[in-house]
Amino acid sequence: MGSWGERLRALRGHPWVSDVLLTFFTVCAVLGGAIAQPKEHAQVIGHPNAFNLALGVVTCLPLLIRRRHPLVVLALTELGQLAYLAADGREGSILIPTLIAMYTVASREGLRRSLWIASAVAVGHTVIRLTVLGTAFLRPENYLSAVWLYLPVAVGEAVRAKRAYWAEVQARLARADREREEEARRRVTAERMRIARELHDVVAHSIAMINIQAGVAAHVIDQDSGQAKQALVHIKEASRDALAELRTTLGVLRQDGDTDNPTEPTPGAEGIGTLVASFRTAGLPVLLQVTGEQRALPAPVGLALYRIVQESLTNAVKHAGPGAEATVRIIYQAYSVRLEVADNGFGAGAGAGAGVGVVPTGDAAADAAGHGTGHGLLGMRERATAVGGTLGVGPRGGERGFLVTAELPTESPPIAAGGPARPKSTEGSRWSGC
């Protein structure tokens, strides 16, 4: 069975071989049927002679091109059948080529079109038998051969439907493969963006702090060695914190994309107070206000909130200008948390070292004067969108400075009355200097 199956599959790859074999076996069937048919059935010439046999062979030959010209082959085999009928007076096996041709048409055309074609051939065949050949009107043979034409229509339609089904299956499999490849590429791109976003948030903040303190140290080293030493201590602390956070971030990124249940600690809303304190230490006066009923936030929301505050204050340090101050407002609402980070600086290009009263020179000034690459703003927007929130960035309306707003949805409802004591609010925190 296996060998026969392999042979059939091989024949499908060479349709012309199949057509030659089909034509050969059809010729054998037609000739065998003509010879084996009882002699008393002959009406015109009697037992088939060489001419009748040759006519039977010629009627079968169009099957060689049945795949390329199915309608032409159907017409030729029908004409050959009628010619054989006129010469021999018997139909019998000469009907086989016409049935094969009709099957070929039905397997390539739709059912409705195939039925119309079969009906046209059947009517034409019957009319010619009755008028040209002069057969008796009530003879069953006049109509049986026409009825036989609908059998290959049914078989051909079944084959056509099966081919269409398997073609659709193959198309769906190919489409699924393409979608899997596209999804894999999308996941790779998303993972690269996530890694870039995490590293940017860690490195940009730390480098900004180090840059400010280095500018302070370079500016006062000749006049106030104590302040220069303090700036170097801040640089050491900032670099140490950066290494620790970078280690944590890399640990999170190695967790096979399981961001919902990370085993490494990730920054959250509870770390914003410490984050704000680090900016105060760097010289940016920051007021932190927290209002509403505080509650534990989902890890992705807490991380997004922390990173947006971090990036907003980092941008204030780099671009707000000397003497700028910033305000961070966190408002816990019923089903969301709202964040507002505002500064009163002059904007990019005003200088660096916003809160230290120092205007760097050289490379530091060149860095401060730039507007940045925009990766930070894009990262904030991506973080807000990833948790289903929104982000707004732009100048403060009617006031000097820049404003970042974010609305992040939370799944946790506020703590009901009589429930566990809520965390102490930091509302009322005031400016803190270096």
Q: What is the CATH number of the domain that holds 309?
A: 3.30.565.10
Q: What is the pLDDT of residue 365?
A: 38
Is 271 a member of any domain?
Answer: yes
Which amino acid is present at 78? E
Distance of CA 231 to the CA centre of its chain: 51
**Residue 143 CB-half CA count within 13 A:** 5
- Give the span between the Cα atoms of 335 and 412, in whole angstroms: 7
Average pLDDT, the chain: 76
139 within a domain of the structure (yes/no): yes
Name which residue leads in pLDDT, 41 or 433.
Answer: 41
Residue 313 counted as domain residue: yes
- Answer yes or no: is 170 within a domain: no
305 contact partners, CB below 8 Å, separation of at least 6: 268, 269, 272, 297, 330, 337, 339, 406, 408
Q: Comparing 269 with 43, which gets the higher pLDDT?
A: 269
CA 78 to CA 124: how far, in whole Å?
Answer: 10
What is d(CA 411, CA 337) in angstroms, rounded to the nearest whole number? Answer: 10
Q: Highest-confidence range of 160-164, 330-334, 428-432, by mean pLDDT?
A: 330-334
Q: Is residue 329 part of a domain?
A: yes
Among 151-165, 196-210, 374-388, the minimum mean pLDDT is found in 196-210
Residues 125 and 191 reside in one and the same domain: no
Count the domains in the chain.
2
Alpha-carbon torsion (359, 364, 365, 368), positive or negative: negative
pLDDT at 408: 94
225 located within any domain: yes
**Structural domain boundaries, residue 82:** 2-148
CA–chain centroid gap for 280, Å, is: 45
Number of other CB atoms surrounding residue 323 within 10 Å: 16
pLDDT for the residue numbered 190? 79
Same domain, 373 and 266: yes
| Bridge partners, 392 (sequence order) | 405
Which residue, 7, 33, 36, is CA-closest to 21?
A: 7
